[in-house]
Amino acid sequence: MSENRIIKKYKNGELTVLWEPKKCIHAAICVETLPKVYDPNAKPWIKPENASIQELKAQIDKCPSSALTYEVENLELNENKNISMKTKVDVMENGPLLVQGTLHIKNINGEVEIKNKTTAFCRCGASVNKPYCDGAHKKIDFVG
Ligand code: SF4
Ligand code: FES
């Protein structure tokens, strides 16, 4: 399997949306939040010109896998990128547990990782990147 990191770019003025297909866990939060921008059946599937920069930033911060990120030319727009948030937990139907907020996650080796924004935890048991979801729930048709 190729280890190449493929990152696709979609530009809207000062903001460029970056999408890394390998990281996408198909939680479809992007499609639900900004359907005018994200349409999996269209080409290109991301049309950033259909939303404001603030709308794009707010939505990209909710992408649970960090498959979506952004680059901005104007530094002021970067300001809020690392702000910590209140904790919120959502159970995705047939998918992961989404936890929003700043999390300190200790893995089984005792290493601590800090996650901001939204983190997706595997509920189906099939992820090879536990405790995180890697999209495997789709492949096994997880129901729950
Ligand atoms: S993981 Fe991110 S890019 Fe992939 S479908 Fe979900 S919100 Fe969209
Ligand atoms: S819930 Fe997504 S891989 Fe298990």
Q: What is the mean pLDDT of residues 48-70?
A: 91
What's residue 73's pLDDT? 81
**CB distance 57 to ligand 2 below 6 Å:** no
pLDDT tens column, 79-107: 555 555 678 899 999 999 999 888 899 98
Q: Which residue has the higher pLDDT, 84 or 128?
A: 128
Residue 64 has pLDDT above 90, yes or no: no
Full-model pTM: 0.71
DSSP structure string for the chain: -------EEEEETTEEEEE-GGG-----HHHHH-TTTB-TTSSSSB-GGGS-HHHHHHHHTT-TTS-EEEEESSGGGGGGGG-----EEEEPTTS-EEEES-EEEE-TTS-EEEE-SEEEEPSSS--SSTTB--SHHHHTT---
| Best of 7, 25, 56 for a ligand 1 pocket test (most atoms within 8 Å of beta carbon) | 25
What's residue 116's pLDDT? 79
